[in-house]
Amino acid sequence: MTMQYVSTRSPSAMGSFTDILLEGLAHDGGLAVPVAIPQWSSETIQSLSGLAYPELAAKVVHAFADDLGLETLHILTARAYTAEKFGHPAIAPLTVLQEAPHSRLALLELSNGPTMAFKDMAMQLLGQLFEYQLKQKGQTLNILGATSGDTGSSAEYAMRDKRAISVFMLSPEGRMSQFQKAQMYSLQEPHIHNLTVKGSFDDCQDMVKAVSADLAFKSSMRIGTVNSINWARITAQVVYYFTGYFQAINAFGLRYGDPVDFCVPSGNFGNVLSGHVAKSMGLPVGQLVVATNENNVLDEFFRTGRYRPRKSAETFVTSSPSMDISKASNFERYVFDLVGRDPQRLAGLWSDLSIHGEFHLAGDPAWSAIGRTGLVSGASHHAARLETIRKVHDRFNRMVDPHTADGLFVAQQFLRPPVPMVCLETALPVKFEQTILEALDMPVPKSEELQAMEQRPQRTVAVSQDVEALKEFIRQHALVAS
Ligand SMILES: *Cc1c(COP(=O)(O)O)cnc(C)c1O
């Protein structure tokens, strides 16, 4: 029996993993979720502890994607996760920062991939999954997306060598770091289209939504998405919680079954949702700490039970820009679990949200369910971010990026030795060198290769905020099935 997917807002069947691979959104506005989270015994989980990352990834992803054979997944994960691409045979190595008796603090390095942000952990596999499925069906795909920096880059590097896929990526003109711009815009592949928009990330996102709302256009142009609600991305990210757990108990001399806490710099709630899924499967995760920046909508929820997303005009521009999100799309999947996976309840809450702009869970049975999930939260801010970058550099002789610094800052409030705290490193400092310079008063060392990248010619097309014009551009440049 293959794993089936349903919408969070109605029991309507959405098919199997490959049916939802290109689209995380249900017709009723809900999100695709597996009909049940696979449950693994401690024996099963322990038997995975010696596996290399690609093998582990095949096993974990197969639990959600059993319509793809395990053999096939082995081939795809072996292509996605190479030491060459990720700079380390462990793919996601754990680095201990502090031993007992003070605390047991470690970083799980997720940003050693091609674009130096943790998005590569999922996107590299997504590229393989898309390519495989398109080959099976003899089809082509046109990916349309909007980015504020890391996602677009990661998607383009994952798809640049895929002949059956073209990418149309909208980005807000002048709002990304120099480095992020150089990384994305220096790609010269003719099927990668970087479209710049005079406006904000939300304006770009709105244009993508408007094009996607034209279902006839979408299907005739074979448009797919790689945004953070894509379930395959969530699944791929579950894998590194397993390797993070195994490496932590080894590094700190613990036994299988002892809890390990994780701290996750959060924006769209995709990363920490994957941790929640890993814990739900049976991995002995203790606390899952949600770290936000000044945009603290999620922190407010976990402290008070009140969920009140903000408008884009109320979203602060901060020095950890990839977390500047006030409406975390994947949060819906977590609340679905809190309300006992009852689509009617979930739909009710989201209807409250659209009418009143908020909902409250305090006092609701769903509120007490949070304790079992282990999620707790805290917020960081600019001064704390800089201070943390300085402290980590002084004490451990290591530079961390502003997002990882937010995680480390919030993690301190939840340390409970002897339980280890694994902080997820979500980007490398070189991507955000201005903030590092401000914190440490020294530049981030940069390889010759990266310096050369910044000198390469950049290739972009300016588009106006006109949905029809965007559609016309796609019509003219889209790949059509051979
Ligand atoms: C995307 C991103 C985040 C936020 O991750 P979510 O899955 O959206 O919660 C945090 N840090 C960095 C560097 C990112 O690129």
Q: Is 97 helix (H, G, I), strand (E, B) or coil?
A: strand
Neighbour order of strands in the sheet with 5-7: 13-15, 5-7, 32-34
Lowest mean pLDDT across 142-151, 198-207, 315-324: 198-207
With 80 as the cut, is the pLDDT of residue 373 above it? Answer: yes
Calculate mean pLDDT across residues 156-182: 93
pLDDT over 90 percentage in the chain: 84
| Residue 393 covered by a domain | yes
Greater confidence (178 vs 101) lies with 178
Q: Which residue's CA lies nearest to atom 8 of ligand 1? A: 268
Q: What letter does residue 41 receive in the DSSP assignment?
A: -
Give the CA distances from residue 4 to residues 18, 33, 34, 339, in Å, rounded to whole numbers and listed in that order: 10, 9, 6, 20
Looking at 59, 119, 162, 279, which residue is catalytic? 119
Closest ligand 1 atom to 404 CA: 11
For a mutational test of ligand 1's pocket, the pick from 118, 228, 262, 389, i.e. the residue with the most ligand atoms closer than 8 A to its C-beta, is 118
The pLDDT of residue 109 is: 98
Q: Give the length of the chain.
A: 482
What is the number of structural domains in the chain? 1
| Residue 465 covered by a domain | no
Calculate mean pLDDT across residues 139-154: 92
| Residue 320 covered by a domain | yes
| Residue 136 covered by a domain | no
pTM attached to this predicted model: 0.96
The pLDDT of residue 481 is: 64
Q: For residue 156, how far is its CA from the centre of ligand 1 (angstroms)?
A: 17
For a mutational test of ligand 1's pocket, the pick from 426, 431, 436, i.e. the residue with the most ligand atoms closer than 8 A to its C-beta, is 426
With 70 as the cut, is the pLDDT of residue 229 above it? Answer: yes
The most confident of 204-213, 216-225, 282-291, by mean pLDDT: 282-291
Q: What letter does residue 412 receive in the DSSP assignment?
A: G
Q: Is 154 helix (H, G, I), strand (E, B) or coil?
A: helix
| Residue 3 covered by a domain | no
With 70 as the cut, is the pLDDT of residue 432 above it? Answer: yes
Distance CA 251, CA 216 (A): 54
With 60 as the cut, is the pLDDT of residue 281 above it? Answer: yes
Q: How confident is residue 174, by pLDDT bands cut at 50, 70 and 90? A: confident
How close are the terminal C-alpha atoms of the chain, in Å?
A: 34
Q: How confident is residue 37, by pLDDT bands cut at 50, 70 and 90? A: very high
Binding-site residues, ligand 1, Cβ < 6 A: 117, 119, 150, 228, 265-271, 322-323, 403, 426-427
Residue 13 pairs in a beta bridge with: 6
Q: How confident is residue 199, by pLDDT bands cut at 50, 70 and 90? A: confident
Distance CA 124, CA 117 (A): 12
What confidence tens digit (pLDDT) does each residue in 100-117 have?
778 899 999 999 999 999
Q: For residue 368, how far is its CA from the centre of ligand 1 (angstroms)?
A: 27
Calculate mean pLDDT across residues 429-453: 95
| Residue 13 covered by a domain | no
Mean of all residue pLDDT scores within the chain: 94
| Residue 218 covered by a domain | no
Calculate mean pLDDT across residues 131-156: 93
Q: For residue 267, how far is its CA from the centre of ligand 1 (angstroms)?
A: 5
Assign residue 420 the CATH number of its domain. Answer: 3.40.50.1100
For a mutational test of ligand 1's pocket, the pick from 180, 231, 234, 322, i.e. the residue with the most ligand atoms closer than 8 A to its C-beta, is 322
Q: For residue 325, how far is its CA from the centre of ligand 1 (angstroms)?
A: 10
With 90 as the cut, is the pLDDT of residue 203 above it? Answer: no
With 60 as the cut, is the pLDDT of residue 482 above it? Answer: no
With 90 as the cut, is the pLDDT of residue 336 above it? Answer: yes
With 60 as the cut, is the pLDDT of residue 405 above it? Answer: yes
Calculate mean pLDDT across residues 8-25: 90
Greater confidence (251 vs 480) lies with 251
The pLDDT of residue 12 is: 83
Residue 165 pairs in a beta bridge with: 141
Residue 119 is a catalytic residue: yes
What confidence tens digit (pLDDT) does each residue in 70-88 have?
999 999 999 999 999 999 9
Closest ligand 1 atom to 271 CA: 7
For 317, phi then psi, to 5°, come to: -90, 120
Contacts of 318 (CB under 8 A, 6+ apart): 293, 294, 295, 324, 382
Instruction: Give yes or no for a contact between 79 and 261, defined as CB atoms under 8 angstroms apart.
Output: no
The pLDDT of residue 315 is: 84
Q: For residue 265, how far is its CA from the centre of ligand 1 (angstroms)?
A: 7
Calculate mean pLDDT across residues 244-258: 97
Neighbouring C-beta atoms of residue 242, cutoff 10 Å: 24
What confidence tens digit (pLDDT) does each residue in 442-481 have?
999 999 999 999 999 999 999 999 999 999 999 999 998 6
Contacts of 65 (CB under 8 A, 6+ apart): 3, 16, 17, 18, 73, 232, 235
With 70 as the cut, is the pLDDT of residue 36 above it? Answer: yes
Q: Which residue's CA lies nearest to atom 1 of ligand 1? A: 322
Structural domain for 302, as ranges: 93-116+232-440
How many H helices and E strands in the chain?
21, 16
Q: For residue 157, how far is its CA from the centre of ligand 1 (angstroms)?
A: 17
| Residue 374 covered by a domain | yes
For 360, phi then psi, to 5°, come to: -120, 135
